[in-house]
Copies of this chain bind each other. A is one copy, B any other.
Amino acid sequence: MPLLSKASKQVTIHDVARRAGVSIATVSNVLKGRASEVSEPTAERVRRVVEQMGYVKNLNAAALSSRRSGLIGAILIGVFDPYSKEPDPEINPFYGEFVFRLENELQAHGDTLCIYAGREEAYVNFLLERNLDGAILVGVIAKDLPTVLERRDVRLVLFDSFVHHRTHMRVQTDELKGGALAADFLIARKRKHLAFVGGAVRDFPSNIPAIRFQGASRACDQSGHRLLLVEEWTSFEGGRRAAHRVLELKADGVIASADIMAAGLIRGLQEAGAKVPDDVAVVGYDDLPLARYVSPPLTTIRQGLPEKVRAAVELLRDGEKGEVRVIKPHLVVRESA
């Protein structure tokens, strides 16, 4: 029998049970609000003791025996540019928006959000070790999800992942449509030389920017336009760097694969003396709050992040295997195009 540790010992369910004169099973039942299992007077007595002793349940222990951890993961691949070794890397504000909206939804059900923003190769371990009940995967590129994930019953929602998988669930915007909306808008505005600025389009064809590009590309084909591609990492600096290429290519209408990139692109264009939208019209993608912060405010494709997060959480709770939710994108016209 261990001695009291120097830190005053944690109050456990045993302490409560003893003080209330009941068994730990009864305390447990009261705590879970199983009214049918416990008489009201007993329940009330237990509640009072819980209050008095300042008992707080150890969810870790509960998780171990109930096999539900109450932990939901956000697995975010690509938050940090793997190729950049700057000490102070840029972070797309998209991820912050995503995480806090998610936390908000989760908290309402008593679940806790754990963040993973590391390399794609290591997330599976994270998922299994921590015994997550479920997770939302953002930016996963690999064509196949490891089969281990099928054997353990983790509920997974692929978010913005165009990885097809029969067992896991998916939430996504209709990105082909989104790309097309952007291209059609520029074409309608009489832009003749269109370009698409985005990251890792050629290397990872199932990557979000690649799909957006594809959608825009098809729309261009249909009206006899060409869509040039400028590849840069999706970031402000990436967009800024892309500005030179855009000017060299003499594009007068550009679609950026993300608002953050559109912001950098506009900055780069302005620095080079080009006027936006007069010389070059720029359409962003995402409709983050950021889209309204920059000058000129971005014309952009709203991907519907709040709805998507809600949809993802719904699937996490009671989606069917393989269920897919597709959100419609919308064009939001402001001043950059």
Q: Which of A55-63, A166-174, A201-209 lines the interface with chain B?
A: A55-63
Cross-chain contact A129 with B95 (CB below 8 angstroms): no
Is the beta-carbon distance between A104 and B130 smaller than 8 angstroms?
Answer: no
Give the docked Cα–Cα distance between A166 and B241 (Å): 49
Within the complex, the shortest CB–CB distance from A138 to chain B, in Å, comes to 13
Closest to A96 in B: B96
Chain B residues near A112 (CB-CB < 8 A): 114-116, 126, 130
List of B residues within 8 angstroms of A91 by Cβ: 96-97, 100, 289
Of the listed residues A87, A88, A100, A114, the one surrounded by the most CB atoms of chain B closer than 10 A to its CB is A100
A145 contacts across to B, CB distance below 8 A? none
A21 at the interface (CB under 8 A from B): no
Q: Mark A38-81, 1 if CB is under 8 A from B, else 0.
A: 00000000000000001011111101100001010000000110
A320 contacts B by Cβ under 8 Å: no
* B115 and A10 contacting across the interface, CB-CB below 8 Å: no
Q: How many copies altogether? A: 2
CA distance A117 to B98 in the complex (A): 13
> How many A residues, CB 8 Å from partner?
58
- How far apart sit A7 and B63, CA to CA, in the bound complex (Å)? 17
Q: Does A35 contact B (CB under 8 A)?
A: no
A270 CA / B335 CA spacing, docked (Å): 15
Type the 1/0 row for A143-170, where 1 means its CB is closer than 8 Å to any CB of B. 0000010011100000000000000000
Give 1 or 0 for each of A263-291: 1 = CB within 8 Å of chain B CB. Answer: 11001001000000000000000000110
Residue A33 is within 8 A (CB to CB) of chain B in the complex: no
In angstroms, Cα B162 to Cα A63, docked, is 36
A82 close to B (CB within 8 Å): no
* Complex alpha-carbon distance, A103 and B69, angstroms: 20
**CB <8 Å contact, B114 and A114:** yes
A290 and B236 CA atoms in complex are apart in Å by: 10
Which of A182-190, A221-229, A292-300 binds B? A292-300
Cα A69 to Cα B114 with chains together (Å): 13
A234 interfacial by beta-carbon distance below 8 Å: no
- Cβ of A322 < 8 Å from any Cβ of B? no
- Which residues of B have CB within 8 Å of A289? 90-91, 236
Other 20 A-B pairs with CB < 8 A, given A90-B289, A112-B115: A7-B152, A56-B128, A58-B129, A60-B69, A60-B130, A61-B64, A80-B100, A80-B104, A87-B306, A91-B97, A93-B93, A96-B96, A96-B100, A99-B99, A104-B117, A112-B114, A270-B295, A293-B293, A293-B294, A294-B295
